A and B are shown apart, each in its own frame.
Chain A
Amino acid sequence: QSVLTQPPSVSAAPGQKVTISCSGSSSNIGNYYVSWFQQLPGTAPKLLIYDNDKRPSGIPDRFSGSKSGTSATLGITGLQTGDEADYYCEAWDTSLSAGVFGGGTKLTVL
């Protein structure tokens, strides 16, 4: 069981919008920044969002992040087949004194 809870899978049609949730607690998301990573099949993860809502250079504005209380959300608009991947949220957990990842969400673009 992951400390951060994500839906196992989400799906949407090309061009549509999807959101992926990440639920935690006051020990992690509630008091620390959230990052989001994309892992395409057979590759290393890649940073999409850091500090809840900031995009690194090179990440298109189709990707967005937000946080409210003990939950965070990744949004992807204008879905493309190339967005099919696993998505992970991550935050520091003060109770564990360790980083924690969500279980991952598999995005299927139908």
Chain B
Amino acid sequence: EVQLVESGGGLVQRGGSLRLSCAASGFTFSTYAMTWVRQAPGKGLEWVSVISGSGAGTYYADSVKGRFTISRDNSKNTMYLQMNSLRAEDTAVYYCAKGRGVVVLAPIDYWGQGTLVTVSS
């Protein structure tokens, strides 16, 4: 059974940093792309970033480019999102999601339960 468990969310001041983790189990982690998606309170889904199975390919939404860094440790079956220079508009539930294949264009098929990030001003 595929399981994705996010952690690392919390309250942080504007301009601060936070690192989210996504622990994966139930599948061969290194053979699937992974994605971060966020959802601000009461708002829709916003695609944030994706990383290929090997970690060699990464892409970012314009809203986070230059501030967020996606990475993965295939030996630990874990994906990360390093978030720097946080802004109030980064406040959201952050979901970890698994792709159906190794490449970044692979569609999402499983989602974690999310972790809440709150940026205070």
A and B are interacting partners: yes
Q: Report the interface size for chain A: residues with CB under 8 A from the other chain.
A: 26
Chain A residues, CB < 8 A from B108: 35, 37, 47, 90
Determine if B110 and A47 form an interchain contact, defined as CB atoms under 8 angstroms apart: yes
Determine if A92 and B105 form an interchain contact, defined as CB atoms under 8 angstroms apart: yes
The CA of A37 and the CA of B45, in the complex, are separated in Å by 10
Determine if B100 and A99 form an interchain contact, defined as CB atoms under 8 angstroms apart: no
Task: Count A/B pairs, Cβ under 8 Å.
Answer: 60
Q: Report the interface size for chain B: residues with CB under 8 A from the other chain.
A: 22
Task: State the B residues within 8 Å of A (CB).
Answer: 35, 37, 44-47, 50, 59-62, 95, 100, 105, 107-114
The CA of A101 and the CA of B37, in the complex, are separated in Å by 10
The CA of A50 and the CA of B108, in the complex, are separated in Å by 8
Closest CB of chain B to A56's CB: distance in Å? 6
Contact of A98 with B by CB under 8 A: yes
Chain B residues, CB < 8 A from A98: 47, 50, 59-62
